[in-house]
Amino acid sequence: MSKVLLVVGAGPGLGASIGRRFSEEGFKVALASRSLEKVSAVCENVPGAKGFACDATNEDDVNRLFSEVTQSFGTPTTVVFNASGRVRKSILDMQSDEFIQAWMAACHGGFLVGREAARQMVQRGSGTILFTGATASVKSYANSAGFAVGKFGLRALAFSMARELGPKGIHVGHVVVDGGIQANHRPEDPNTPDKWLDPKDIAESYWHLHAQGRSSWTVEIDVRPWVESF
């Protein structure tokens, strides 16, 4: 059986780093985002990766994505939902459609992607589904209601799926990324502040979750820079 990674919401930072880490382990890598042009550029830095266009909030798009990835590489064995939506506005000024769009991107998209991944994985009794969370998954900030509700909901989805699907052989995990990600972080560069998370290091945590033996699966981890208070 081919080892296939699908990252939905793949950009040049964390999504690309996850793709590279799994590629090192012999995975075929599918990277998806709303813009095929942008994700194709990301694929240039991920060995053997192929880009796909997908609006994760659209059910037909998500179903088509899984069909196309399966035709290209085989059924995904690991799926990462890395998309989100953010609106920085006071609750006094936020419009209803802005709130809904933020929730749709962060939570509803996770449901659609997670559900389709689960439907395929249950048939073979194995697989890994990982969701990217944020500080907002556990702590709401002012002027960020839409993002916080979306991330809180995504975390709830992950825990519910983990409890349901674990006994069926599917490992579901949630990663709380507690801090800002520096897409071009270079540890050897003295001008790079320690406050940023290195996407390469975060990707190592995703690989660790995937590689865990089923006698000791982890449902949630949090990652943050060593200088970050919490």
Q: 2, 1, 5: which is closest to 207 by C-alpha?
A: 5
pLDDT of 192 higher than 70: no
Give the pair of three-digit tokens for residue 96.
């209803």
pLDDT of 185 higher than 60: no
Phi, psi of 6 (to 5 degrees): -120, 125
- Return the percentage of the chain with pLDDT > 70, whole number: 95
User: C-alpha angle with apex 119: 51 to 129, nearest 5 degrees?
Assistant: 60
Give the per-residue pLDDT at 228.
83
Mean pLDDT across the stretch 193-209? 93
- Could you state, in order of their start, the residue ranges of all structural domains in the chain? 4-178+203-219
State how far the Cα of 80 lies from the Cα of 92, in Å rounded to an integer.
Answer: 34
pLDDT digits (tens, 9 = 90+) for 111-151: 999 999 999 999 999 999 999 999 999 999 999 999 999 99
More confident residue, 3 or 187: 3
What count of residues does the chain have?
230
Give the per-residue pLDDT at 191.
65
Give the pair of three-digit tokens for residue 94.
């936020």
Q: Find the range with the poorest average confidence among 91-95, 188-192, 196-200.
A: 188-192
| Residue 160 near residue 116 (C-beta atoms within 8 A) | no
Give the pair of three-digit tokens for residue 24.
């090192």
Domain boundaries 4-178+203-219, corresponding CATH code: 3.40.50.720
pTM over 0.85: yes
What pLDDT band is residue 182 in, cutting at 50, 70 and 90? Answer: confident
Mean pLDDT across the stretch 7-16? 95
Give the per-residue pLDDT at 188.
55
Give the pair of three-digit tokens for residue 23.
């590629």
Q: How confident is the prediction for the chain on average, in pLDDT?
A: 93
Give the per-residue pLDDT at 29.
98
